């Protein structure tokens, strides 16, 4: 029988949370999947399917609940997998039922609105535990449910968080979990990779070609690492799984909402909904952070300007191209 220490709690039954729960449960790991949506909980419990990700098999080791007290009582290790706009509210809600023994890592590739802080900073304000971390990397929900040899990295300043994350989440070959102590770097690399995925979708939609695309990728990683260093991160983190790895996977498939947004922007479909993907939010928030840290981010600035409706997509491509040529 699984103990509290061997059970993984997942906060949020969206696509990623459900996919992660699925891959863990298929290996025999007990999972408690918490959602505030009682209809989703009932569907998982009665049909072993989630209406939000119906293709994901949800075998018996997985249980769903809408009761946060049960989640806290039955799982010590928790993964927060909600929208960045909901982080602050969930942290306050969970702060009422968790205690200092819990470990909480988030899998959110954005900065937390409206203050644009890193997600772990917002979690620390609402949760009673100091044992916090981040889970990031090139693992799309569809890849997880199909067993496509996904890899992620878990980062924390606490060795216990990393060790427990690897023990509980590492389930090769479907999912391999690596470790890092660069919490700031992994959080920022993950968030910015979503923003640059929008840029690559935009570039592909405008037919920029493989040469300029390669230059765009290298410049994106360079400027992301520049911002990371200004924030206290290690530059090499941005060339790893959370940064470059994330970007390459998301910008190579139409399964990424950020990539599809970039393609729609290239087609001239720009509406108020444009800023609703996590990558789009990260672009806007990243530019605010860059301003505070006085860091030049030409590629990110171009994406943010398009998303804000300040310039046309074709003009952004020209501006970025000219800036990259100057920087080279």
Tokens standing for residue 245? 């790895």
- Tallying the residues shown for the chain, one arrives at 328
312 confidence band (pLDDT: 50, 70, 90)? confident
Query: Looking at the structure, do residues 232 and 164 belong to the same domain, yes or no?
Result: no
For the chain, give the mean pLDDT: 92
Between the alpha carbon of residue 94 and those of residues 11, 89, 124, the distances in Å are 10, 9, 12
Residues 18 and 147 in one domain: yes
Whether residues 18 and 128 fall in one domain: yes
Parent domain of 270: 189-327
CA pair distance 54, 52, nearest whole angstrom: 6
Q: Are residues 236 and 293 in the same domain?
A: yes
Asked whether the beta carbons of 152 and 170 are under 8 A apart, the reply is no
Residue partners of 56: CB distance under 8 A and separation at least 6? 18, 19, 21, 22, 49, 50, 141, 145
Question: Same domain, yes or no, for 127 and 202?
Answer: no
19 and 166 part of one domain: yes
Q: Which of 181, 208, 224 is the last residue of a domain?
A: 181
pLDDT tens column, 72-83: 999 999 999 999
Ranking 64-73, 87-96, 265-274, 305-314 by mean pLDDT, the lowest is 265-274
In tens, the pLDDT along 127-173 reads 999 999 999 999 999 999 998 889 999 999 999 999 999 999 999 99
Q: Do 245 and 136 share a structural domain?
A: no
Asked if 158 and 215 sit in the same domain, the reply is no
Distance CA 163, CA 56 (A): 27
β-pair type (8-11, 175-180): unpaired
**Peptide bond before residue 173 is cis, with ω within 30 degrees of 0:** yes
Residue-by-residue DSSP string for 267-322: TT---GGGGGSHHHHHHHHHHHHHHHHT---HHHHHHHHHHTTSS-HHHHHHHHHH
CATH code of 276's domain: 1.10.1040.10
User: pLDDT tier at 309 (50, 70, 90 boundaries)?
Assistant: confident
pTM for this entry? 0.93
Which positions ≥6 away from 172 have C-beta within 8 Å? Answer: none
Number of domains in the chain: 2
pLDDT band at 300 (very low <50, low <70, confident <90, very high): very high
Q: Do 177 and 202 sit in the same domain of this protein?
A: no
Q: Are residues 226 and 299 both part of a single domain?
A: yes
Q: Rounded distance, CA 94 to CA 132, Å? A: 14
**pLDDT tens digits, residue range 277-288?**
999 999 999 999
Is pLDDT above 50 for 88? yes
Inform me whether the pLDDT recorded for 31 exceeds 80. yes
Boundary residue ending a domain (127, 147, 181)? 181
CA gap 270, 207 in Å, rounded:
18
Phi-psi region of 169 (alpha: psi -120 to 50; beta: other; left: phi over 0): alpha
Of 140, 163, 181, which closes a domain? 181
Per DSSP bridges, beta strands 150-155 and 132-136 are: antiparallel
Q: What does the pLDDT average to over 84-95?
A: 94
CATH number at residue 91: 3.40.50.720
Helices (H) and strands (E) in the chain, counts: 14, 8
Q: 124 and 210 share a domain?
A: no
Under the banding of pLDDT at 50, 70 and 90, the label for residue 25 is: very high
Please give the pLDDT value at position 274.
60
Let me know whether 273 and 159 are in one domain: no
């Amino acid at each position: 029988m699984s103990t509290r220490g061997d059970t993984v709690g997942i906060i949020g039954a969206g696509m990623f949370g459900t996919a992660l729960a699925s891959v863990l449960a298929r290996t025999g790991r007990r999972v408690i999947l918490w959602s505030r949506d009682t209809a989703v909980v009932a569907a998982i419990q009665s049909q072993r399917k989630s209406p939000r990700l119906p293709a994901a098999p949800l075998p018996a080791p997985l249980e769903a609940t809408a009761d946060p007290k049960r989640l806290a009582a039955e799982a010590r290790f928790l993964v927060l997998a909600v929208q960045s706009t909901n982080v602050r509210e969930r942290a306050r809600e969970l702060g009422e039922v968790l205690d200092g023994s819990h470990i909480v890592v988030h899998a959110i590739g954005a900065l937390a609105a409206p203050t644009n802080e890193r997600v772990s900073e917002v979690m620390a304000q609402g949760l009673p535990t100091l044992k916090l971390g981040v889970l990031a990397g090139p693992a799309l929900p569809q890849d997880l449910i199909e067993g496509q040899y996904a890899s992620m990295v878990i980062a924390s300043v606490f060795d216990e968080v990393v060790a427990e994350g690897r023990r509980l989440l590492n389930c090769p070959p479907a999912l391999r979990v690596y470790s890092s102590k660069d919490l700031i770097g992994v959080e920022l690399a993950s968030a910015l990779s979503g923003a640059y995925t929008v840029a690559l979708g935009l570039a592909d939609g405008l037919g920029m070609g493989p040469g300029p695309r390669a230059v765009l990728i290298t410049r994106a990683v360079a400027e992301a690492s520049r911002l990371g260093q200004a924030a206290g991160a290690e530059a090499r983190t941005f060339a790893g799984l959370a940064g470059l790895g994330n970007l390459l996977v998301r910008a190579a498939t139409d399964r990424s909402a950020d990539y599809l947004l970039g393609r729609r922007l290239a087609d001239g479909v720009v509406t108020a909904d444009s800023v609703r993907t996590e990558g789009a939010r990260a672009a806007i928030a990243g530019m605010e952070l860059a301003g505070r840290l006085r860091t030049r981010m030409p590629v990110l600035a171009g994406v943010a300007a398009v998303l804000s409706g300040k310039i046309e997509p074709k003009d952004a491509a020209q501006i970025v191209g000219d800036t990259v040529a100057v920087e080279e």
